[in-house]
Amino acid sequence: MAQTTQKKRFRARHILLTLAALSLLAVVAVWALAQVSWRVRGALDVVSRIPVSELRLTARAGGETITLDTFGLTLAGDLYRPANPDGSAVVLLHGSSPYGRKLALYPVLAKALADRGHTVLSIDQRGFGDSEDPDRSSVDGMDATHDVVAALDFLETLPGIDPGRMHLIGHSLGGGVAMAAMVVDPRPASVTAIGPPRRTPERMRDQFDTLRARYRHDRQLGADVPEDVFRAHMADFYLENLLPYLGGPGHIPLLLLDGGLEDPVDLAYLGDYAARVAPPFLYGTVAGTHHYLNTVGRLSPGVAVYDQGMLDQVVDAISGWMKTPGVQPGSP
C-alpha cells in the first residue's frame, strides 16, 4: 500500500514537472516568435518604402581587417581602399548595436564612400563588436574619443593620405562621438553627424534604467556601469554642452543630417539646435527614411538590404560637403 502511494506521488510530481517544463517552453517559443515577428515587420516596413528599381541585396563584405591600439585597448576595424583614391580619408563611427561596424548601414556606407575616392576606416568603438571592453569604473576609460584619435593617427600613417583632408562621419551614437571628438582633436577637416543622440538629458531623467541596460547589452558587458560613472559619461552626449564651441566662429565644419520619418520631437529638437550653430555648418533632413537610411540588417548578420537611391543621395551630399566643407550649397 505504501509503495502504491509513493508511486502515485512520484507520478504526480513527474506530471507537474513536465507541465512546468512545457509551459516554460511555450513562453520561450512565444517570446522568440514575437522577436522574429517584430524583426520581420520592421524589415517589411523599410522594404515597402524602397522603389523596386532601387532595392539591393548584398553580402556585407567588409574591407581589409585591421587592429588599433589605444590606451591599452585593442580595437578592430575595416579599411576600405578606393580604386581611385583622391587623398582624402574618413573615420566611420557606428551607432549603438551589438553588431558594431558590421550592422548593415556601415559596410554599405563605407563601400559607397570608397567608390567616390575616399579611403574609409570603419572601427568598432571600445566595447562594441570585435573590440576590447573598456574600464567600466572610469569615465575616461569609456571615452570613445580616444578611439577617434587612434583612428586618425592610423590614417596619417597610410601612404597617399592628405592629413589636411581627414574627416569624421558618425551615425547615431557615433554621431555624438564624432561631435565630441571635434572638440578634443583639431585634425578633422569636417564632421558629419547622422541622427546624433538627441534630448539626452531628458532621456537620462526619464529612461535611466533602460539606457543603462542598453549600454550593457549593446557592448555585451558582464555588468552595468556604476551609476555615477554612467551619468558622467553620458554627459559627453549632451549636445547642449557643445554649443559654446559650435555657437561661434572657428569650429570644425559640421554637417548635421536626420531622417524625415524619425520621431517628430527629435526632428524639432535638431532643427532648433541647428539654428544655434554658427557657420561653417549645414543641416539637412533626408526625406522618406527613419533612423537607418532605409537599410535592413537584423534578419541576418551576413546580408544587407538597402535603398540604392537613398544611399546615393546621402553619400553624394556627404562627399560634396567633405570636398568643400562649410560652403557646400543645398542639402539632401
Report pTM.
Answer: 0.87
pLDDT of residue 36: 44
Q: Give the C-alpha separation, 269 to 264, whole Å.
A: 9
pLDDT of residue 39: 52
Task: Determine phi and psi for 37, rounding to 5 degrees.
Answer: -60, -45
Q: What is the mean pLDDT of the chain?
A: 88
Count the Cβ atoms, other than its own, within 10 Å of residue 204.
Answer: 17
User: Which range is least confidently modeled, 196-200, 215-219, 264-268, 293-297?
Assistant: 293-297
| Segment 65-77, tens digit of pLDDT | 999 999 889 999 9
pLDDT above 90 (res 8) = no
**231 with 239: CB under 8 angstroms?**
no
Secondary structure, 3-state, 176-218: HHHHHHHHHCCCCCEEEEECCCCCHHHHHHHCHHHHHHHHHHH
Place of cell 520619418: 261
Q: Which of 3.40.50.11710, 3.40.50.9100, 3.40.50.1820, 3.40.250.10 would CATH assign to domain 55-323?
A: 3.40.50.1820
pLDDT of residue 167: 98
Average pLDDT of the segment spanning 227-248? 95
DSSP code for 52: G
- Name the more confident of 330 and 150: 150
| Extended beta strands in the chain, E state | 55-59, 64-70, 73-80, 89-93, 119-123, 166-171, 190-194, 254-259, 281-286, 295-296, 303-307
pLDDT above 50 (res 35) = no
| Segment 104-141, tens digit of pLDDT | 999 999 999 999 999 999 999 999 999 999 999 999 99
Cis peptide bond prior to 280, omega within 30° of 0: yes
